[in-house]
Structure 1
Amino acid sequence: MKVGFIGVGSIGNPMAGQLLRAGHELLVHDIRREAAASLLARGAAWLDSPAAVAAASEIVATCLPGPKEMEQVVLGPKGILEGVRKGSLYVDHTTNSPLLVRRVHDLLAARGVDMLDAPVSGGTEGAQTRDLLVMVGGEGRVFERARPVLDALATRVIHVGAIGCGSVCKIMHNCASFTLDLTMAECWTVGVK
C-alpha cells in the first residue's frame, strides 16, 4: 500500500520505519528533511509538502507535536487538505484536541475523504519495537480499512469509538499516568520521612 507519513521525529520516524519493514511503499515529509534521512536511506521517498504527500498516497498519516502543528499541516498552505484525493484516508497519530479532530474530519468528509484519530502511547522505544498502544477513533469500516497500516505500527490497536474518541482516550491515559506518577512520588516522600 502507498502510505504517506508526515512528522518523522522521535516517535514518527520509528513508526514510519515499521511501515517500511511491513513492505508498504512510504512517502515522507517533515519540516526538517534531515529527520527523514534514515527512512530515505531505507527506500522511502521524500515529497516537498504535505499536499504532495496527500496527493500521492492511499493513506496519509501524521505524527506531530500537538494540535497547532496538526492544524497547520492539514489546513495550512500546501497542507493535506489541498492535496488529498477523494476516496483516500487520513490517520492522525498526534496527541490532539478532540474538537480539532472532529472539525478536520468534517472538512475531509465533505471531500469524500475518510479519517481516523489514532494517538499512540509507548514512546520512542515502543515505536521502535512495535510495543505501542494505538487508540483509534472513527467509523468501524474505516478502522478495518486502515488495519494493515495500523497493525504494522503496533501490537495493540484498539477501536475505541467514533471520531475524536481516540484523542479523548489518549488525554485520559495521560492524565491517569501523570496522576499515578505524582501519587507515587508522594508515597516515596512519605516513606523516606
Structure 2
Amino acid sequence: MMKNNEIVIGFIGLGVMGKSMAKNLLKAGYSLVVSTRSKEKALEVIEAGAKWLDTPKDIANAANVVITMVGYPTDVEQVYFGEEGLIYNSSKNTYLIDMTTSTPTLAKRIYHEAKEVGIFALDAPVSGGDIGARDGKLAIMVGGDEEAFEAMQPIFEILGTNITYQGQAGAGQHTKMCNQIAIATNMIGVCEAIIYAEKAGLNPEKVLQTISSGAAGSWSLSNLAPRIIQGNFAPGFYIKHFIKDMKIALEEAEKLEMNVPGLSLAKNMYDRLAEMGEENSGTQALYKYWQQQN
C-alpha cells in the first residue's frame, strides 16, 4: 500500500463539485496535478497549491492515482481511451477512479481494459451535491476489486463520510442509478409541497421547519427546499447533468425489463425545463415547471 508522501493524485474535471473535492485533497496534504477543459476553472485550485497539466496523457504520466469527475459518459470515454487517454499512458499499478455518474457498461469496459495493462480501476460516483463536496461529506458508492477499494479508502475518506463498497465493476454506477431514481420523484414531491403551502396561504419556511424533521424528511427537502423559498436556483447540481443521469437510469431499467413511471415523469418534466432554457440551473428549479404550467 502506498504511503501518502508517495502518492501524486491527478484530478480531471473541476466543475461545481470537482473543484471542492480537489481542494479538500490539497488540504489533506496530497500532491495534486489537475486538468480540465478550461484552465480558468482551475485557477482557484492552482492558487491553493495544485499544478496544472494540459492533457489526460500529462496527468497519467505524472500521477499514480487519477480521479475523474467530468460531465458525460462521452467525456469519460475521451479521457480514458485512445492514444492520449489515461489507460494507455498510465504506469502499471496506477489507480484510476471515475467519480463521474456514468454508465455501468462503460465502468466495466474501463475496468477490463485497465486490468489488461496492469492498472486498477474503480467506478465511484458520488452523491451530496455542492454542499457535500465542499464539506467532504459525500456519499461514495464504489465498484471494482475490493483490494483496490481498500487501498483507496484513505483518499475516499477525505472526500466523503458514507463510503460503501458495492461490488464488482459497474456496481457503483448501478447504485448511483438507485440514488437518482429516488431523487427524481422526491424532487417532484418537494416542489409540490412548497407550492401547496404557498397556495394555501401558509408560510413556506414554517412549513419546511415542521415537515423536514418528520416522515417527509429528505436531503432534498432540507438542502434544496430553502433555496427554492429564497428564489435561489443556482446549480449545486446542474439540470442538464440530472437529465443525463435519468436517461442512463431509464436505459438501464429497460435492460432490466423494469417499468419506472416515476422516473419517466420526472425526466419529462426536466426535459421541459431544459427546453425553457433552464438546463444550467440547479435541480431545485423544477419549481419553475409549475410556474410554466399556471
CA distance in 2, matches of 1:124, 1:169: 20
Task: Give the counterpart of 2:135 among 115, 126, 129.
Answer: 129
So what's the TM-score if we normalise by structure 1?
0.94
Higher relative contact order, structure no. (Cα contacts within 8 Å, ≥ 6 residues apart) = 1
Structure 1 vs Structure 2 CA RMSD: 1.6
Equivalent position SS for 1:82: coil
Partner of 2:46: 40
One-letter identity of the residue aligned with 1:11? M
Equivalent position SS for 2:188: helix
Task: Decide which structure has the larger Cα Rg and report it.
Answer: 2
Equivalent position SS for 1:83: coil
Partner of 2:151: 145
Change (3 A) 1:35 1:76: farther
Partner of 1:154: 160
Residue 6 of structure 1: how far off its partner (Å): 0.3
Partner of 2:114: 108
- Tell me the number of residue pairs that the alignment of Structure 1 and Structure 2 aligns: 193
One-letter identity of the residue aligned with 2:128? G
Partner of 1:65: 71
Partner of 1:119: 125
Describe the superposition over 1:151-192 as per-residue Cα deviations: whole angstroms up to 9, x where unpaired.
Answer: 111122111111111100111100111112224545667785
The 8 Å contact of residues 66 and 95 in structure 1, kept in 2 or not, is answered as yes
Partner of 2:89: 83
Unmatched 5+ stretches in structure 2: 1-6, 201-294
Equivalent position SS for 1:159: strand
After TM superposition, the structure 1 stretch with the greater mean CA deviation from structure 2, 19-28 or 149-158, is: 149-158
Equivalent position SS for 1:155: strand
Mapped pair 1:52 → 2:58: yes
